[in-house]
């Protein structure tokens, strides 16, 4: 078992002000989060801003103690055996912590020393970690001369020195351009496959989550859904029809009683999960055509999984 989290809860003690707004007294940032990671898979912690991803991340990296519940990483209790947990994990925070004035090799050497690695063993581990992230030719470059994507890879290489079993990355693609984002996920997948490392990365990008083996979907501090991406979408069944209408509320109440339909109205859009979208579109055009400005249909996506589980649109 790589992670076992049971009923994790956390509420920040102080009220917060967003911009010039009023003081907000906090709701729980995490509220009864339970999940397990049994195998070394590529896992996305998916959720919009404020859903609790970073708080869960801080707990799993032993920076924050849960106020309720408990968790283990690789069999070690996060609170009782924090040091042992830290030996099992590699962590990449949102903010880069590389020393920009040093070379990649110097950064890795300092980090290796902190893990008690020295001499030939350290040189060997640095070479291996650099190879894993295709950074061998950059080892003697100053960090400040590297692109954002290369820096992120250097940071990941640094976390690999002590051969962790679980890699935890907080929004690793934030600030990267689309090509660097794609490359980053290619390397994360490669590490998971070739090194057998479990990778848990938080993201608010649906396309990144869709390529993972398993999703933990967060909403307002709770785990709204979890599962592999395709089955999560397939479990919704059928298709989704979005109907733009200036009488959306009325149209919603016409459709809601129909068996097998899951109907929600958001602003001027009626959203219907139904077993047969073409039939619904045909029938509605005939019966309520004058109420309807536009109709679209699609197979269920992760955005629909999120909506189904939370009743909210996914707003990253």
> What is the contact surface with ligand ADP in residues (CB under 6 A)?
12, 14, 16, 26, 29, 47, 49-55
Among all chains, which residue has been given the structure tokens 């820096």? Answer: 151
Pair of tokens at residue 302: 């992760």
Task: Tell me the C-alpha to C-alpha distance, in Å, between residue 238 and each of 23, 274, 275, 313.
Answer: 44, 6, 4, 19
Residue 29 or 150 with smaller CB distance to ligand ADP: 29
Residue 15 or 116 with smaller CB distance to ligand ADP: 15
DSSP H/E element including 82: helix 82-88
Minimum CB separation of residue 314 from ligand ADP in Å reads 12
Minimum CB separation of residue 214 from ligand ADP in Å reads 18
Residue 254 or 303 with smaller CB distance to ligand ADP: 303
CA distance 311 to 169: 28
Minimum CB separation of residue 191 from ligand ADP in Å reads 23
Burial (CB < 10 A; 0-12, 13-18, 19+), residue 106, is: middle
Minimum CB separation of residue 282 from ligand ADP in Å reads 41
Minimum CB separation of residue 53 from ligand ADP in Å reads 4
Residue 267 or 315 with smaller CB distance to ligand ADP: 315
Residue 2 or 216 with smaller CB distance to ligand ADP: 216
CA distance 213 to 202: 14
CA distance 283 to 76: 58
Q: Is 215 helix (H, G, I), strand (E, B) or coil?
A: strand
């Amino acid at each position: 078992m790589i992670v076992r989290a049971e009923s994790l809860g956390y509420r920040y003690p102080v009220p917060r002000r967003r911009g010039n707004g009023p003081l907000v007294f906090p709701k729980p940032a995490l509220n009864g989060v339970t999940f397990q990671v049994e195998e070394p898979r590529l896992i996305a912690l998916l959720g919009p801003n404020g859903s609790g991803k970073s708080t869960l991340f801080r707990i799993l990296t032993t920076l924050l103690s849960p106020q309720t519940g408990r968790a283990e990483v690789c069999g070690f209790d996060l609170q009782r055996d924090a040091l042992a947990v830290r030996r099992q994990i590699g962590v990449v925070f949102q903010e880069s912590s590389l020393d920009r004035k040093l070379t990649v090799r110097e950064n890795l050497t300092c980090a290796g020393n902190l893990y008690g690695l020295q001499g030939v063993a350290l040189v060997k581990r640095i070479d291996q970690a650099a190879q894993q992230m295709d950074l061998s030719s950059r080892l003697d470059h100053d960090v400040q001369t590297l692109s954002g994507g290369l820096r992120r890879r250097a940071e990941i290489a640094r976390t690999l020195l002590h051969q962790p079993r679980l890699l935890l990355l907080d929004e690793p693609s934030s600030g990267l351009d689309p090509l660097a984002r794609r490359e980053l996920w290619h390397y994360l997948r490669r590490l998971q496959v070739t090194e057998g490392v479990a990778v848990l990365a938080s993201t608010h990008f649906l396309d990144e989550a869709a390529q993972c083996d398993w999703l933990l979907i967060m909403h307002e501090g709770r785990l709204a859904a979890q599962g592999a991406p395709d089955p999560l979408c397939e479990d919704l069944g059928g298709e989704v029809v979005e109907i733009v209408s200036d009488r959306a509320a009325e149209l919603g109440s016409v459709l809601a009683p129909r068996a097998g339909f899951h109907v929600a109205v958001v602003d001027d859009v009626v959203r219907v999960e139904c077993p047969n979208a073409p039939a619904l579109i045909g029938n509605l055009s005939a019966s309520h055509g004058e109420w309807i400005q536009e109709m679209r249909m699609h197979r269920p996506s992760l955005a629909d999984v999120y909506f189904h589980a939370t009743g909210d649109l996914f707003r990253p």
